[in-house]
Amino acid sequence: MSEAPGADLGVPPRERRAILRDGLGVGIATGAYGVSFGAVSVAAGLSVAQTCALSLLVFTGASQFALVGVVASGGAPLAGAATALLLGTRNALYGLRLAPLLGWRGWRRVVGAQLVIDESTAMASVHDDGPRARLGFLSTGLAVFVLWNAMTLVGALAGEALGDPRTYGLDAAVGAAFLGLLWPRLDTLLARLVALGAAAVALGVVPLTPAGAPVLVAAVVPVLAGLLAPRAAVGREEPT
């Protein structure tokens, strides 16, 4: 029987507290940046209700900023929605990785899908067993969801009077949290080379693509590495 969302059986109390603490920390860093989205969205012409609905229903920052960016530049809302949908496809790829790791079925998987974002995926993927992965996924996903939506409302109400929170370094805090999660996973030469290659590709296409798209383009690097590495290993094997 699959465990319900929230179950953390099999996780010792000390580890459980550490995972919850990490999830909350990532949630605070990411959620605080929702102020920026709320302010930018209202400045682009969306109402407070529309802005909050985007955070509540779409709940993926890159897609939300992309949609608002298209609208702010005079583009059609449909074009903005198409751009947001394109950027959101990476969440579907995350789902393929998380489905066997979390082990949820039926309505549990449907509910959990709303929390599939960069941060929750990263926090789940650093663990190799179901209970810890589920706890990391839920603690991070719920923390980000609650704080992102709350701070979106704050930013939307404050509007341009608040200024852009990026000047306070909140966007750097999100990046630092990701680096902290990623670093322990780079324990092999191949992992380091893939990470450097993906970072180089992402940086190279930043001037050419909308916000969030560099992540999709950079995803080609680990995909190619995954396809080529097994072939290289087979080629090095000697015939028996």
3-state secondary structure of 219: coil
Cα 27 to Cα 87, 117, 123, 132, 178: the distances in Å are 21, 12, 11, 17, 12
pLDDT for res 45:
83
3-state secondary structure of 205: helix
Interatomic CA distance for residues 84 and 211, integer angstroms:
10
- Judged against a pLDDT cut of 70, whether residue 66 lies above it is answered with yes
The answer to whether residues 97 and 199 belong to one domain is: no
pLDDT for res 20:
94
Its domain, for residue 36, covers 13-185
* 3 occurs within a structural domain: no
Query: What is the pLDDT averaged over residues 164-179?
Result: 55
* 4 occurs within a structural domain: no
Q: How confident is the model at residue 51 (pLDDT cuts 50, 70, 90)?
A: very high
Interatomic CA distance for residues 107 and 118, integer angstroms:
22
Q: How confident is the model at residue 4 (pLDDT cuts 50, 70, 90)?
A: very low
Q: What does the mean pLDDT of the chain come to?
A: 80
Interatomic CA distance for residues 178 and 235, integer angstroms:
35
The answer to whether residues 89 and 175 belong to one domain is: yes
Cα 206 to Cα 79, 164, 179: the distances in Å are 20, 21, 19
Query: What is the pLDDT averaged over residues 88-108?
Result: 89
- Judged against a pLDDT cut of 70, whether residue 239 lies above it is answered with no
Lowest-pLDDT range of 74-83, 128-137, 149-158, 226-235: 226-235
The answer to whether residues 163 and 192 belong to one domain is: no
Interatomic CA distance for residues 176 and 26, integer angstroms:
10
What residue has token string 């702010």? 72
* 91 occurs within a structural domain: yes
CB–CB of 20/135 below 8 Å?
A: yes
* 1 occurs within a structural domain: no
User: What token pair was written down for 129?
Assistant: 């067993």
The answer to whether residues 41 and 104 belong to one domain is: yes
The answer to whether residues 109 and 207 belong to one domain is: no
The answer to whether residues 230 and 153 belong to one domain is: no
The answer to whether residues 196 and 137 belong to one domain is: no
- Judged against a pLDDT cut of 80, whether residue 50 lies above it is answered with yes
Four-residue CA torsion sign, 201, 58, 176, 166: positive
pLDDT tens digits, 180-225: 656 766 778 888 888 898 889 888 988 887 655 676 677 788 878 8
Domain edge (last residue) among 169, 185, 201? 185
The answer to whether residues 41 and 150 belong to one domain is: yes
The answer to whether residues 85 and 197 belong to one domain is: no
Q: How many domains does the chain have?
A: 2
In terms of pLDDT, which residue wins out, 77 or 110? 110
- Judged against a pLDDT cut of 50, whether residue 55 lies above it is answered with yes
Query: Of 25-39, 68-82, 133-147, 160-174, which has the strongest mean pLDDT?
Result: 133-147
User: What token pair was written down for 184?
Assistant: 């322990």
- Judged against a pLDDT cut of 70, whether residue 148 lies above it is answered with yes
pLDDT for res 87:
76
The answer to whether residues 113 and 217 belong to one domain is: no
The answer to whether residues 172 and 190 belong to one domain is: no
The answer to whether residues 123 and 239 belong to one domain is: no
